[in-house]
Structure 1
Amino acid sequence: MSTDTLFRRINDYASRPDPYPLYAELRENGVARQEDGSYLIGTYDEITALLHDPRISSDVRHRDNADELLAGEEAATRSFIALDDPEHDRLRRLAMRQFGPPHTPGRIDALRQEITEIAEDLARRLPEKDRIDIVDDFAFPLPVTVICRLLGVPEEDVPQVHTWADTVVAGFDFTPGEDSGARRRAALEARQAMGIYLGELARTRREKPTGDMLSQLANDQGPDGRLTDQELMTSATLLLIAGHETTVNLITNGVLTLGRQPEALQRLGAEPALMPSAVEELLRYEPPVQFLPQRTPLADIDVGGVTIPKGSPLILVLAAGSRDPLRFPDPDRFLPDREDNQHLGFGSGVHSCFGAPLARLETQIALTVLLRHLGSWRLLADPPEYRRSPVLRGPRHLPVERATPR
């Protein structure tokens, strides 16, 4: 089959349960120009080089169809992940000051006990019936609760935040024949409503700080100055959405993978100290973010002997790179103790996910607690029902059954 249809085939919902044969086809063919004029890259070394190449832009204003992509959206409302340096660098550094090292090195580790308590509470409240939906009953509420507490969202407002977040994330999904514009508009409206809410909350925290992360973002007077009201709204919205969405998929993909790998599951039960390494392997083997669809060359560039013209849409298929046999021995096997595991699960370069330490910690705790409380269990659907999004790939539902009631 022609490689110029690869992206269409990857996006086909029928490929969601197992896109990896398509990723192997991509790697075998090197750079693959698509029927819409975009270019797919799926090899580890090339992806890594491009993620560190300053000629590759994350700003959609450089795309040929920028007007269409930005329709109804002011540039000021876009988060720093959709900007280039120096704008990106300044906003990222302002957010990072309150999120982790070097300015707040203990923030994430200090959450360990609280995350464990939240996970334990959710696990104790799992339905008494033997059938459990891992997504709805555990994987979704855990990271949402954690990020809301980290930011300082009042408990009574969390359900509304859940609703907004669901709508925003649904903007990444699609259904063939559906008006995708309506879905994107709904997502934009939800993101704007969330931003307004968080902006108002931040303004109260400027007057009366409460020690949470939003208070510190609102009042920080570091060397880069203070976030404007608009920047604070946008950055807080990004932190809330990104701070839970990929973690939901990572936890769920982890349960699915272990349900398919009884030997690995048994080994983790016997050697719990392996869990951090196992989570790194999950990020390589079944990453929650499959590819980065918004990259644009600012000049003609050569990738693997192919010249990619300036302005062409560039799609970096991270999940394909993380299974590149030239980088990872036996890449299609899940090995919880894999060494030298420099996967692309959190990207790389200046746009690497700065929430990675939190996602790692949450997933390590989540899987440890959940597996202990489940006891013996089995998957009830394999493959399960997947979400529509080919980018944020994970099961929409993951029903499991306890083999022995607890």
Structure 2
Amino acid sequence: MAQASVFEQILDPANRADPYPLYAELRKTPVAREPDGSYVVSTYDEIVALLHDRRVSSDPRSRPELDGTSHGLPLPFISRDPPEHDRLRELATRPFGPPCNPGRVEGMRPWLTGTADDLIDNLAGRHRVELVDDFAYPLPVTAICRLLGVPRDDQPRFHHWADALVETADPTTGTFADRQRRRDRINAELGGYLDGLAAADARQPGDDLISGLLTDTGPHAPMARADLLSTCALLLVAGHETTVNLIANGMLTLLRHPDVLDRLRREPDLVVPLVEEVLRYEPPVHLLTSRSALADIDIAGTTIPRHAPITLVLAAGNRDPARFPDPDRFDPDRTDNVHLGFASGIHYCFGAPLARVETQVALPALAHRLAHPRLVADPPPYRPNPTLRGPRHLPVDVDAVAPAAETAGRERVLRPAHG
């Protein structure tokens, strides 16, 4: 039996808790050909170059192994190449956020703060809390449902769809074609539900994102109904699954660095660079596996041939010592932190503004209100998925859960000192 390649070892769930030594080994060969004919790219400069290279396709229809049939929604814009991608992304951006609507996401901050406090209130009286199921999951799913106008009573239905779609992002669960077909079937179910919401909003528009897409009168508008449904399906699932990991990874990192946790309690403004460093140090998305070459591409002394699948290991690039000094050190004071936590180029994470605000709200709320938090297990149990990496559970022992009003008062005292 042939020895597993470094990348095959990375895919092994046994290495999920700490893949970083394997990433360091992987970077010794910046562009590595795998036994299946795919190419794995692991160094920062090469990843950035390919993310900005129009010869790299994000469209699964460019993969020869797919038969071209689809039984679900049209591909979302993140899975399309220009010019389709550019047109649909522009339409989706106008009602969502900056630069067209900068106040929508930022305006959710007070509501997110209240929702975070409500979730932490539910932990009161416990001395062991589970931060994934009881906080990191419900906060972003509630937020994205509010943004899209999904009734609160319907939110539990999306757990099944989200889990099923996340599984299709795991390269160890069948061939690329099999995963794409499963994704099509799940999206068809989700699209049927979202079509009902869109029909209701068409009759009586509100202030949610679906209504914004339906009533847009700008260039290229309105978005076709099928594309609208695929866009909303993308946001509903991707818009919260990655943020679950970002919040959980962030809190795990703070618990491993109690000096930084203490600083966050004393220095409210620290949260902005801290979240950026979490995105570099423990990103929620480790791999991009859906790329392929539209032409022969010469990079780092290797030629990636036309049609070859390409995997970009974002998390390895984020720890590349050629780009980041002392990359294995968690340092919220790090400067020039142009990380790959949200990728780069035309496919830069569409939901990044919302994920940032959610995490900037979540981490200080937990830091202030959990008294003397300690990890129950280190490492905690991880999800098996190597693409969307994060703890499956994050049990934490605490001495007490402080009331929200008490911590709000402390923040008000500290904030002017950093104004």
Q: Structure 1 residues 3, 356: CA separation in 2 closer, same or farther (over 3 Å shift)?
A: farther
Alignment of 1:169-180 (within 5 A): 169-173=166-170
Q: Structure 1 residues 162, 272: CA separation in 2 closer, same or farther (over 3 Å shift)?
A: same
The sequence identity of aligned pairs, in percent, is: 54
Mean Cα deviation higher: 58-67 or 353-362: 58-67
Report the AA paired with residue 51 of structure 2: L
Q: Which residue of 1 aligns with 2:134?
A: 137
**1:277 is aligned to 2:273:** yes
Return the offset for 1:19: 0.8
Question: Given the alignment, which residue of 93, 99, 104 partners 2:101?
Answer: 104
Question: Given the alignment, which residue of 362, 374, 381 partners 2:377?
Answer: 381
**1:13 is aligned to 2:13:** yes
Report the AA paired with residue 364 of structure 1: Q
Counterpart-to-counterpart distance in 1, 2:303 and 2:158: 44
**1:359 is aligned to 2:394:** no
Return the offset for 1:73: 4.0
SS at match of 1:372: helix
SS at match of 2:40: strand
SS at match of 2:321: coil
Report the AA paired with residue 151 of structure 2: P
Counterpart-to-counterpart distance in 1, 2:171 and 2:234: 21
Say whether the 8 Å CA contact 2:162–2:237 is kept in structure 1. yes
Return the offset for 1:181: 9.0
Say whether the 8 Å CA contact 2:321–2:327 is kept in structure 1. yes
Question: Given the alignment, which residue of 345, 350, 360 partners 2:346?
Answer: 350
Return the offset for 1:275: 0.6
Q: Deviations over 1:39-86 (max 9, x none)?
A: 11111111111111111111111123223xx66545x52211111001
Say whether the 8 Å CA contact 1:295–1:313 is kept in structure 2. yes
Mean Cα deviation higher: 393-402 or 193-202: 193-202
Q: Which residue of 2 aligns with 1:290?
A: 286
Alignment of 1:51-200 (within 5 A): 51-67=51-67, 72-73=70-71, 77-126=74-123, 128-173=125-170, 188-200=184-196
**1:214 is aligned to 2:210:** yes
Say whether the 8 Å CA contact 2:59–2:291 is kept in structure 1. yes
Counterpart-to-counterpart distance in 2, 1:315 and 1:166: 22
Counterpart-to-counterpart distance in 2, 1:173 and 1:326: 29
Counterpart-to-counterpart distance in 2, 1:72 and 1:220: 28
Q: Which residue of 1 aligns with 2:414?
A: none
Say whether the 8 Å CA contact 1:3–1:33 is kept in structure 2. no
Q: Structure 1 residues 315, 28: CA separation in 2 closer, same or farther (over 3 Å shift)?
A: same
Question: Given the alignment, which residue of 304, 319, 322 partners 2:315?
Answer: 319
Say whether the 8 Å CA contact 1:4–1:35 is kept in structure 2. no
Say whether the 8 Å CA contact 2:125–2:400 is kept in structure 1. no
Structure 2 gap ranges (5+): 403-419
Q: Structure 1 residues 3, 311: CA separation in 2 closer, same or farther (over 3 Å shift)?
A: farther
TM-score, normalised to structure 2, is 0.91
Report the AA paired with residue 381 of structure 1: A
Q: Which residue of 2 aligns with 1:50?
A: 50
Q: Deviations over 1:268-319 (max 9, x none)?
A: 2221210110000000000000011011111111110111111111111111
Q: Which residue of 2 aligns with 1:253?
A: 249
Considering only aligned residues, what root-mean-square deviation do their CA atoms show, in Å? 2.1
SS at match of 1:307: strand
Return the offset for 1:171: 3.1
Report the AA paired with residue 330 of structure 2: F
Return the offset for 1:20: 0.8
Say whether the 8 Å CA contact 1:6–1:34 is kept in structure 2. no
Counterpart-to-counterpart distance in 1, 2:153 and 2:286: 34
Say whether the 8 Å CA contact 1:3–1:34 is kept in structure 2. no
Counterpart-to-counterpart distance in 2, 1:183 and 1:82: 14
Q: Structure 1 residues 103, 405: CA separation in 2 closer, same or farther (over 3 Å shift)?
A: closer
Counterpart-to-counterpart distance in 2, 1:128 and 1:357: 34
Say whether the 8 Å CA contact 1:381–1:399 is kept in structure 2. yes
SS at match of 2:219: coil
Return the offset for 1:175: 7.3
